[in-house]
């Protein structure tokens, strides 16, 4: 039984109403995002699709703060999307981050050069297939993958395609981020 993703989602919704709780919640992810910026060589000229942003879109907030890139932050949960929009507005980053409701496993109709797929996003294989069809050649797709003790709590990515690169992560629930390059 998967109980961690719903518990995290509920905590994010509570945290989103407070700047202090948002900062505390996002703090451990700073190093994760810095590692992913290096992994994907993400920068100002990128348009990044963040799939599974949640109610506290810390990945989008920190990504644009560091790189200056434009971000599409997407989540399936309408309540999370509403709270994420408010969180982005409070941070004064509505001009850089567009929050959208959507399913990462369905076609995304806007151009992007890179994506970061959250640990809780699923199904990861379908998301990778859609990203490959939707993005231009050379686009980078970064996935956060569950560590062994948590592999039953989160969807895994099982593909014969080798990752172009990976980085270890300092988190308990996910210990690495992997990157695929779009060849199509």
Q: Where are the beta strands (DSSP E) in 21-173?
A: 47-51, 70-75, 97-101, 114-117, 140-146, 165-168
Whether the pLDDT of residue 52 is over 90: the answer is: yes
pTM above 0.75, yes or no: yes
Question: Which residue would you say has higher pLDDT here, 59 or 4?
Answer: 59
Confidence of residue 9 (pLDDT cuts 50, 70, 90): low
The helix or strand, by DSSP H or E, that contains position 178, with its residue range, turns out to be: strand 174-181
Other Cβ atoms within 10 Å of 102 Cβ, number: 16
User: For residue 115, which phi and psi values (nearest 5 degrees)?
Assistant: -140, 150
Report pLDDT for 14.
64
* pLDDT for 159: 82
Identify the weakest region by mean pLDDT among 31-40, 95-104, 116-125, 152-161. 152-161
Q: Domain 4-181: which topology?
A: Rossmann fold (3.40.50)
């Amino acid at each position: 039984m998967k109980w961690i993703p719903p518990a995290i989602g509920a905590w994010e919704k509570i945290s989103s109403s407070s700047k202090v709780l948002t900062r505390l919640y996002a703090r451990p992810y700073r190093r994760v995002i810095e590692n992913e910026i290096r992994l994907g060589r993400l920068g100002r000229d990128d348009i990044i699709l963040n799939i599974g942003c949640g109610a506290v879109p810390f990945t989008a907030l920190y990504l644009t703060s560091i790189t200056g890139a434009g971000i599409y932050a997407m989540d399936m949960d309408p309540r999370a999307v509403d709270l994420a929009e408010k969180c982005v507005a409070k941070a004064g980053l509505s001009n850089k981050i567009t929050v959208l409701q959507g399913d990462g496993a369905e076609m995304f109709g806007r151009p992007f050069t890179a994506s970061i797929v959250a640990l809780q996003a699923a199904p990861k294989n379908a998301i990778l297939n859609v990203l490959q069809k939707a993005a231009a050649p050379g686009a980078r797709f970064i996935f956060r993958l569950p560590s062994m003790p948590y592999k039953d709590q989160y969807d895994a990515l099982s593909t014969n395609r080798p990752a172009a690169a990976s980085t270890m992560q300092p988190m308990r629930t996910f210990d690495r981020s992997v990157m695929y390059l779009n060849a199509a």
